[in-house]
Chains A and B, each alone.
Chain A
Amino acid sequence: MKDGLKLGIPIALGYFSVSVAYGMSAALLGFTPVMAALISVTNLTSAGQFAGTTLVAQHAGFVELVVTMLVINARYFLMGISLSQKLEKTTLFQRLLIAYGITDEIYAAAISKKGSLSFSFYMGLMVLPILGWTAGTWCGAAAGDLLPPSLASACGIAMYGMFIAILIPKARTSRPVTVCIVASAVLSTILRKLGLSAGWTVIAVTILIAGIMAFLHPEAADELD
């Protein structure tokens, strides 16, 4: 438990600052700080809840919302499979709790731990990041309400900064990933120009481009292990 908590501190700090950006953008979309914090504590996912929040603000259809969340969060499915291989014997209730805490960073920290994974370690690992993510969201949304609109919207780029920080370093080291990113950007721009909504565009781009890339580069499967 204690080891997990310790490992969770840097994740919590990172989550706090990134979720401030999310909270600000949610406030810009018209959500109150409590609403934004509720989204954060129940979803605990950056890209997924950012897209979902935008869709809810646009009063998008529920099918579009469900499919968007499924596609964007599909990676958690794979992380869940990989975690289930590493877990010590756990009860059903314990697995239900562990599932809630699967995020990119928590998963990465858990999977990098030597040996098998205990329930108490995982609980220790996830508690501070959850607090950081929720508190940061509330602060960001509250600050977004206080800041003059021009400054609050200038912060709207922070969330994209996070995405760019994931994309560019990976693109530098992997040519197939570069092709995937560029092709996705081009197709996304075209589909949006044609009038497709943001949610459906992300879904169509992901299925088409990631699908084509998977056929062109089946060897990428090895990167996942």
Chain B
Amino acid sequence: MNWTEVLPGIAIMAGTTYLVRVIPLLLFKNKITNRTIKAFLYFVPYAVLSAMTIPDVFSSTGNGISTAAGLVTAVLLAWYDKGLLIVSLGAALASVVVTLVM
């Protein structure tokens, strides 16, 4: 891809993300008290991450067996609460090893 294709998109991503961060710092002096809005914001990250992971993760390595190896490794490591770094690298490593072996 070339710069003219990606620059407007990058600018929009950066601008939108910055606005979300800066507006509350400039405007809000009081805490949100509406419980439904707070509960909604509590669930947002989990809904977002789940929808971003499923179904795309199943086609993430372009190969069914290496995807399965990476996915199982990630779920097991995450189950034992190994943290972002270990889970992420472990999944990639399992997937790479399976790709090399095949």
A residues neighboring B (CB under 8 Å): 13-14, 17-18, 21, 29-32, 35, 38-39, 42-45, 47-53, 55-57, 59, 62, 65-66, 69-85, 92, 95-96, 98-100, 102, 150-151, 153-170, 172, 176-177, 180-182, 184-185, 187-189, 192, 198, 201-202, 205-206, 209-211, 213-215, 217-221, 223-224
| Shortest distance from the beta carbon of A67 to any chain B beta carbon, whole Å | 9
Considering only CB atoms, which chain A residue lies closest to B45 in the complex?
A75
Minimum C-beta distance from A163 to chain B (A)? 4
Whether B92 lies near A21 (C-beta < 8 A) is: yes
A158 to B96, CA, bound (A): 10
B-side interface mostly: helix
- What's the dominant secondary structure at chain A's contact region? helix
| Size bracket of the B interface | 35 or more
Additional A-B contacts beyond A165-B88, A210-B40 (18; CB < 8 A): A18-B85, A31-B1, A32-B1, A52-B9, A65-B9, A78-B41, A82-B31, A92-B26, A156-B95, A157-B61, A157-B71, A164-B91, A167-B46, A169-B78, A184-B50, A202-B51, A206-B47, A206-B48
Are B36 and A218 within 8 A (Cβ)?
A: yes
Chosen A-B contacts, 7 in total, with CB atoms closer than 8 Å, are A18-B85, A31-B6, A55-B9, A160-B91, A177-B43, A184-B51, A221-B38
Q: Is the CB of B6 within 8 A of A35?
A: yes
Q: Judging by beta carbons under 8 Å apart, are A185 and B54 in contact?
A: yes
Bound complex: CA A80 to CA B22 (Å): 7
B77-89 CB mask vs A (1 if < 8 Å, else 0) is 1110111111111
